[in-house]
Amino acid sequence: MQNSQMQTVLSDRFLVCGLGNLGQHCVAALANFGVRVRAIERTIPSGWDVPDLPAMLEQVIQGDFCRSSILQQAGIADCRAILLLAGDDRINLKAALAARLLNPAVRLVVRSNRPHLNDLLARQFGNFVAFEPSRLSAMAFALAALQDQTIGAFEINGVAYRVRQRSLQADDPWLGDIPANLNNRSRLILGRWTGSLPLPPDSLFYGSSIMEPLRLGDWVAYVEMRRGGRWHEWEATATLHPTRPMLTTAPRSTPRWQLLRSLQQAARSLLHRSRLLQIALIYAGAVLGLLLLGTVILRHYSPYRDWFDAFCNTALLLLGGYADLFGDPAQSSAVPRWLRLFGFSLTVVGTGLVGVLYALLTERLLSLRLRFSPSRPRLPDKDHVLVVGMGQVGQQIARLLLQSGQSVAGLTRQGLDDNTLGDLPLMVGKLPDTLDRVELERAKSIVFATDDEIANLEMALMVRQASLSTGLVIRTFDRAFSDTLVGLLPDAQVLCAYALAAEAFAGAAFGENILSLYRWGRTTMLVAEYRIEPGDTLVDLLLAEFACGYGAVPLLHERVGRKALADGELDFPCLDRHLRSGDRLVVLASIEGLRRIERGELAPRSWCVRLHSASPQADFEGANAIARITGCSLAHARSLFQRLPTLVEAGEPPTVCAMYEYQARSLVASLRQRLVDAEALCWATDLG
C-alpha cells in the first residue's frame, strides 16, 4: 500500500495472465478498485463467464505469457503487479521468472500449489506471494458446513481467532448490555442488527447500533481469540462451573482389596482386547498343568526316578521331542503303551502352543507394521458432515472439519490411500448413485465439493427431495451460475470457489498479505496484513479514525522493532493509538474496505462533542480522556475546561474537532464516567 498522492499513472496498471475462470474473476475484483487492467491469454474465448469482462480490460493480448516479448508488449515495465493464474504451476513459475527479469519492482502474485518452493521464491525475489485457490476457499466451505454460530476462523502470530454471530434469546446474559461494553481482552464486538443481515456486513463496524442496549431478537457478531487453550465463552463456563482442584495433601493408603480389584479389572480389560491372547493364555495354562502332571508321572516310572530328569523329559515332549525319547524301537517296546500315548499327547499339545505363540508374535509385528495404514472407521450414525468429492478441495475441507472435532464422512468415486485421512470414514462408489446408500436425513450438512458444478447441482436437488432438514453447501465456479442456484435453493449455501479466491488475489496485488478469508452472508471478508511505509496516508492516523473511516477492524497492531506478544498477553489494539511508519497492522475488512484503504477514501467525520459542565475534580481525568480519544495535546484539552460550555477542539490552530460517531459517543461515555456533562452532536441534525 502506498501513498495515493505519490502514485503515478503507470503504477495504477495491473497485468492478469490467464483468463480462465479464476482470471476473469480476478479482473472483476481489480476493476472494483478502479485501476487499469490488461490481460494476456493464449486463446481468446468466444464467450466470457464474467459478464461485461471486455469493458473491464484496457487491452487483451493473445499469446504465451511465458515469453518475454509478449510480457513486454503487455507493458510489464509499467505494471504495479502481475497476476499469473494459469492452471499449470510450471507455466506460472516460468512466467514469474521472466517478469522479474523485465521489471525487478513488479509485484508477483502467482497461482501455485508448491508451498515449499513458494517460500523459497518469496525469500529470493521479495515482493512475491503465491496462493492455491482451493486452499483459500476450503476454510469457507468448512465453516459453512458446520451450520453453527462460527462464520470465520484464522490465526495471527500463532493465536487462533474466530468470528461468530448469535441471536439473543430470553435467557441470554447479554440482554440489556451495550455491545461496546462487552469488549474485553479476548472479545471484540463487530456489530449488532435486527432481522436480516445488512449488506454489506462491514457497514455494521463501529456503527451507532453498538452503542445502544441489546434487545430480545437482536443479532450480535463478534471476533474472539483463543487464550490459554480456551475460547472466551468456555472460560466463562469454567468460571461458573469450576472443576474440582486436585488434592495437594498426602494421599491416603489404598486398601489391599481395592488394589486386587484394580488388577483384576486391568487383566479383564487386557483379555478383552485380543481374542488371540485369550487363546494363548488358555494354552499356556494347559501346558503348565501337563508339565506338572507329566513330571509326576515320569518321576514314578522307573527309568526316570529323578525329579529333574522327569521335568526335562516332560519339557522335551512338549517341545516336540517325542522321537528323542521313544524313537528307538528297542527301547520304546519296553515302555507301556499308555505312557507312549501320553507322551504323544504332550507333543501334540506343545506343538499347538508353539503355533499359537508364533501367531501372537506375528499379529504384534503386523500391527506395528500397519500402524500407519489402519482400517477406516465406520460411517457416523448422525450429526455428521458428508463431504461429496474427495479431490484436493474435498480433502482439505474434511481435514479442517476433523481438526475442529466435527464428525465427518467422505463420499468419493475413487478410494483414497490409507495414509490419506486415515481416520476419515469413506464410502466409495459411483456418483450420484451412491447417495442412495447414505442415510441423508441423519447428516448435519452435506458439502458437494466435486469439480463438476452440474453434478453438484444434481446431487443437491436429489438431497433436497429426500431430506428437508439437512444443510447444503454447494461448490460452483461461475458467479452467475451461483446467483441462479441461490434463487433455486434459497436455503442452501452456494459458494463460488473462484470468486472467493479472486478477492484474495486482488487484495494481494496491491501489496497486502492476505492471511485468510471467509464468507459472511453474501460478502467475502478478508484478513489482511499491512506494513505501513514512510509517506503512507495511514501515518499519524488514530486507529479509531482508521477503523471508522475505512470500515475495517484492527485485530493486531505492532510497533516497529517490537516482537509480537505471546499467547495470553496478546490483546485487541486500543483505538487511541497512532499509526507510525514501519508498524504492522492486521485488519478484518471486505474487498470494498481494502479498496477504500488503497485509495485513501476516508468517510467524512460528521460528529463533535459539546462540554457543558464538569465537577472541580474532573479537569485532569477529563482532559486525559479528550487527549487520548481525539489525539490533541494534553495542554489544549485542559484549556477546554477553562471555558465551559464549549465544543471540543483540536489541531493548530484549534478548530472544532470533527469525529466519527463511534469516537464521539465513546468520548461522551468516558467523560460522563469522570463526572463531566457532555453530549455527542451530529453536524447535520444538531448543529445544522
- According to the model, what pLDDT value does residue 332 have? 59
Mean pLDDT value of segment 559-586: 77
Residue 557: per-residue pLDDT: 93
Q: What pLDDT shows up at residue 238?
A: 31
Q: What angle do CA 432, 438, 444 make, to 5 degrees?
A: 105
pLDDT per residue over 123-169, tens digit each? 888 889 998 888 888 888 998 998 878 888 888 888 889 999 999 99
Tally of residues, the chain: 688
Q: Report whether pLDDT(177) > 70.
A: yes
Say yes or no to pLDDT of 246 above 80: no
Cell numbers describing residue 607: 460528529
CA 649/CA 460 separation, integer angstroms: 60
Q: Does domain 385-476 have CATH number 3.40.50.720?
A: yes
**Banded model confidence at residue 653, pLDDT cuts 50, 70, 90:** low
Closest listed residue to residue 357, CA positions, set 271, 281, 272: 281
The grid coordinates of residue 302 equal 522307573
| Helix, strand, coil percentages for the chain (3-state, nearest 5) | 45, 20, 35
Winning range, highest mean pLDDT, from 234-238, 251-255, 346-350, 660-664: 660-664
Residue 560 has pLDDT above 80, yes or no: no
**pLDDT for 255:** 52
pLDDT digits (tens, 9 = 90+) for 389-415: 988 889 999 998 988 888 999 988 887
Q: Is the pLDDT of residue 447 over 90?
A: yes
Q: What is the mean pLDDT of residues 113-121?
A: 86
Per-residue pLDDT at 2 = 45
Cell of 605: 467525520
* CB < 8 Å & 24+ apart, contacts of 68-74: 68/98, 68/101, 68/102, 70/40, 71/15, 71/40, 71/95, 71/98, 71/99, 71/102, 72/102, 74/15, 74/38, 74/40
The answer to whether residue 556 scores a pLDDT higher than 60 is yes
pLDDT of residue 234: 38
Q: What is the mean pLDDT of residues 443-464?
A: 91
Which of the four pLDDT bands, split at 50, 70 and 90, describes residue 191? very high
Q: Which residue has the higher pLDDT, 266 or 475?
A: 475
Give 548's pLDDT tier (boundaries 50, 70, 90).
very high
pLDDT (0 to 100) of residue 446? 93
B/e letters for 266-275, b = 16+ CB within 10 Å, e = fewer, are eeeeeeeeee
Q: CB of 423 within 8 A of CB of 377?
A: yes
102 has a pLDDT exceeding 80? yes
Task: Say what percent of the chain tops pLDDT 70.
Answer: 83
**Lowest-confidence pick of 224-238, 329-343, 390-404:** 224-238
Q: What is the pLDDT of residue 267?
A: 59
Instruction: For the chain, give every domain's residue range.
Output: 1-131, 137-239, 275-369, 385-476, 532-602, 607-682
C-alpha cell at 575: 483505538
Cis ω before 179 (30° cut-off from 0): no
The predicted structure's pLDDT at residue 116: 86
pLDDT of residue 546: 95
Please identify which residue in the block is written with the cell numbers 474537532. 657
Residue 247: what pLDDT? 30
Query: Would you say residue 663 has pLDDT above 80?
Result: yes
In this prediction, residue 110 carries a pLDDT of: 95
Report the distance separating Cα 464 and Cα 48, nearest Å: 31
Average pLDDT, integer, range 170-174? 91
pLDDT given for residue 617 in this prediction? 82
Of 252-256, 433-437, 552-556, 628-632, which one has max mean pLDDT? 552-556
What pLDDT band is residue 245 in, cutting at 50, 70 and 90? very low
91 has pLDDT over 80: yes
Lowest mean pLDDT among 150-164, 332-346, 660-674: 332-346
**1-131 shares its CATH topology with 137-239:** no
Q: What is the DSSP letter of 204?
A: G
- Residue 473 pLDDT: 94
- Is 213 in contact with 176 (CB distance < 8 Å)? yes
**What pLDDT score was predicted for residue 63?**
94
Q: Would the pTM of this model clear 0.85, i.e. be above it?
A: no
Q: Examine the pLDDT at 235 and tell me if it is beyond 50.
A: no
As a whole number of angstroms, the distance between CA 269 and CA 130 comes to: 52
Query: How many whole angstroms separate alpha carbon 265 and alpha carbon 381?
Result: 30
Q: HEC states along 473-517?
A: EEEECCHHHHHHHHHHCCCCEEEEHHHHHHHHHHHHHCCCEEEEE
Residues 532-602: name the CATH superfamily. Answer: Regulator of K+ conductance, C-terminal domain (3.30.70.1450)
646-647 β-sheet, strand order: 646-647, 607-614, 676-682
When pLDDT is cut at 50, 70 and 90, the band that residue 254 belongs to is very low
Q: In this predicted structure, what is the pLDDT of residue 376?
A: 74
Name the CATH architecture for the domain at 1-131: 3-Layer(aba) Sandwich (3.40)
* Residue whose grid cell is 522321537: 323
Supply 585's cell numbers: 497492522
What integer best gives the mean pLDDT of the chain?
Answer: 82
Edge-first strand listing for the sheet containing 385-388: 426-428, 408-412, 385-388, 445-448, 471-476, 493-496
CATH of domain 137-239: 3.30.70.1450
Q: Which CATH number fits domain 275-369: 3.40.50, 1.10.287, 1.10.10, 2.60.40?
A: 1.10.287
Identify whether the C-beta of residue 59 lies closer than 8 Å to the C-beta of residue 87.
no
Which residues lie closer than 8 Å to 435 by C-beta, 6 or more apart? 388, 411, 459, 462, 463
Q: Can you tell me the mean pLDDT for 573-595?
A: 91
Q: Are 132 and 108 in contact (CB under 8 A)?
A: no
Cβ contact 22:477 at 8 Å: no
Q: What pLDDT is recorded for position 229?
A: 62
How far apart are alpha carbons 585 and 587 in whole angstroms? Answer: 6
Q: What angle do CA 606, 608, 614 make, to 5 degrees?
A: 170
Helices (H), 600-646: 619-630, 634-640
Q: What is the dihedral of CA 56, 58, 64, 68, to 10 degrees?
A: -140
113 pLDDT more than 70: yes
> What does the alpha-carbon distance between residue 139 and residue 526 come to, in Å, rounded to a whole number?
12
- Say what the alpha-carbon torsion angle 494, 496, 500, 503 is, to the nearest 10 degrees: -130
CATH of the domain spanning 607-682, picked from 3.30.1390.10, 1.10.357.10, 1.10.10.60, 3.50.50.60: 3.30.1390.10
Helix (H, G, I), strand (E, B) or coil at 402: helix
Bridge pairing between strands 159-167 and 218-225: antiparallel
Gyration radius of the chain's alpha carbons: 36
pLDDT-based confidence at residue 222 (cuts at 50, 70, 90): very high
User: Which grid cell sits at 220?
Assistant: 450480535
Q: What does the DSSP assignment read for 416-458?
A: --TTSSTTS-EEE--TTGGGGGS-GGG-SEEEE--S-HHHHHH
Question: What's the pLDDT band for 599 if we cut at 50, 70, 90?
Answer: confident
- φ, ψ for residue 533 (rounded to 5)? -100, 160
Least confident of 9-18, 484-493, 517-526: 9-18
Please measure the distance between the N-terminal and C-terminal CA atoms of the chain and give it in whole angstroms.
37
Q: Which residue has the higher pLDDT, 5 or 114?
A: 114
